[in-house]
Amino acid sequence: MERLQPDVLLRDERRSDPAEAAALRQLVPAIIHFDDDGEGSSEADLVFRTLYREPRGETPPNVVTGPAGFIADPSLLRHRRAGVKKEAPGNLPHIVVAHGPEDPGDLSRRTLRHLTQLQIPLKVTVLLGEAYAHPADQLQMMALSRRNVKVKRMPYDYGEELAAADIVICSSGHIPYDVAFLSIPCIVLAQDEEELAHAFPTEDNGFLPLGLGRKVKQSMLLNAVMEYLLHEPRRRRAVSRQAALGVEDGIGAVSEAVFYYLEYPPRRPADR
């Protein structure tokens, strides 16, 4: 940073180190962090925290929690609120499974294994992220043995795939924001204890959180799927609650913050 001498620093840092953050503060006129809940977050001028826990006490003045800092994948934009216009699932309900770029707990395989035990006509699409590192042999075998099951690796149109779902099953990271942007009934499985604590994907916000994915029993997941498929008021309630959150593409808000700090830096720029 001392060599580059930036005017604004944007950091995607979940656990910023306070000493490092304080040192950067001496070099950079303005610092914006994303999803930082480390001790170093107090050194940032602004923190957009989309992945947040239930607040304990007052939120620090430099922190904005919730959807404000959510930046939608460009492929989602043309499908905004797609779920609001959807009719009830037909004779072949479509479930899309998306557990993030890495899926460290291999919840894709676990989810698909459970879904194949559901004795009703069902279409399932499993979206594997770009950093998925688990052997995909079992997934492919399950897909080959069932006509309406597909496993897709990048590249694919992420927004189009999600928007085509009647139900999305996903992890508890950023994907619930993508789903809320589209307003589609969603079952959430947390990858780990940290994801389990995220406060956004709740029933009040239109999601069905089932807890830690590795501990979710087959019966629990299948009952959750059937609840959305059999109870239209439950499905519509999930859609309307997500739509009411007003999740928008936050690129405008983030850009505005960057331009503001370029014009009005909180500290004097380092000598050039």
Per-residue model confidence (pLDDT) at position 54: 83
Pairing state between β 30-34 and 46-49: parallel
Residues 6+ apart with CB under 8 A from 252: none
CB 102 within 8 A of CB 129: yes
Binned average pLDDT, 10 residues per bin, the chain of 272 residues: 94 92 95 94 96 84 94 97 95 97 96 94 96 90 89 96 98 97 98 95 98 96 97 97 96 96 89 54
**What percent of the chain lies above the pLDDT cut of 90?**
88
Helix axes 107-115, 137-144, angle to 10 degrees: 20
CB 239 within 8 A of CB 81: no
Per-residue model confidence (pLDDT) at position 58: 85
Helices (H), the chain: 18-25, 107-115, 137-144, 158-163, 175-182, 193-196, 218-230, 232-244, 251-263
Per-residue model confidence (pLDDT) at position 159: 98
- Separation between Cα atoms, residue 192 and residue 86, nearest integer Å: 32
- Separation between Cα atoms, residue 203 and residue 249, nearest integer Å: 22
CB 28 within 8 A of CB 209: no
Per-residue model confidence (pLDDT) at position 59: 87
